[in-house]
Amino acid sequence: MRGYLITFEGPDGAGKTTVINEIIKQLPQSLQERTLVTREPGGSKISENIRTIILDPENKEMDDRTEALLYAAQRSQHVSEVIRPALVAGKVVLSDRFIDSSLAYQGVGRNLGIEEVKQINDFGTGGLEPDLTIFLDLDPAVGLARIEKERAGQEDRLEQEKIDFHNKVYAGYRELLERYPDRIKKVDANLPIKDVAANSVKIIRKQLPDIFM
Ligand code: TYD
């Protein structure tokens, strides 16, 4: 059985983590047993350590290129230690964020260029691409308002960025949707969680029918 990598993307506050948990519940039992949930930045010990450095609100002096390289570095470790072995073992890997976050946040949000950021990531991951990417589509202002409500005063370094940055990131995601229409599929994240999850499962069934066999 071959493995599959399905990634979840979207602006901050789109509810990816909650949606992924709900998706799992809606999958057939046999598939649940074959599924591995992971996240970025993080997913392994070293990558979680890098996550702490990247997201620490104290690290205000972090250079944009350093930030892009740290995201690529945590991904490289995550892929070699967790994702590739799982794919080899035939698992279905659901990752809360992956390369498209770097292309949108660092490539477009930080103006480093989608191509440039893709290159350092391909070096890190050996060019691993998701089989399918679900983009949880939400107005970034709505996402930030959700975060503000849930954890005001505890926002991480990226969440503390102004709305202009988050709007740029969103524009970056729209560019990626145009660039990879076969791989990235959009789901309306304004709907209740159960519906967002059900719509995501529908897309997975349509795009990757083999994993349900
Ligand atoms: P995430 O863990 O999804 O945030 P939370 O769990 O708090 O909702 O991601 C943390 C932040 O890192 C988020 O603002 C998006 C950002 N990010 C990038 O800028 N580039 C990347 O490559 C990744 C994976 C995340």
12 lines ligand 1 (CB under 6 A): yes
Structure tokens at 195: 């519906």
pLDDT confidence of 1, banded at 50, 70, 90? confident
CA separation for the pair 119, 139 (Å, rounded): 29
Q: Ligand 1 pocket, 166 CB below 6 A? A: no
The one-letter code for the residue type at 179 is R
pLDDT mean across residues, the chain: 97
**Tens digit of each residue's pLDDT (9 = 90 or more) over 22-75:** 999 999 999 999 999 999 999 999 999 999 999 999 999 999 999 999 999 999
Angle at 193 between CA 101 and CA 200, to 5 degrees: 60
**Domains of the chain by range and CATH?**
4-212 (3.40.50.300)
Distance 204 CA to ligand 1 centre (A): 23
Q: Is the pTM of this model over 0.85?
A: yes
Which class for 33: exposed (0-12), middle (13-18), buried (19 or more C-beta within 10 A)?
exposed
Q: Is 102 in the pocket of ligand 1 (CB under 6 A)?
A: yes
**pLDDT value at residue 107:** 98
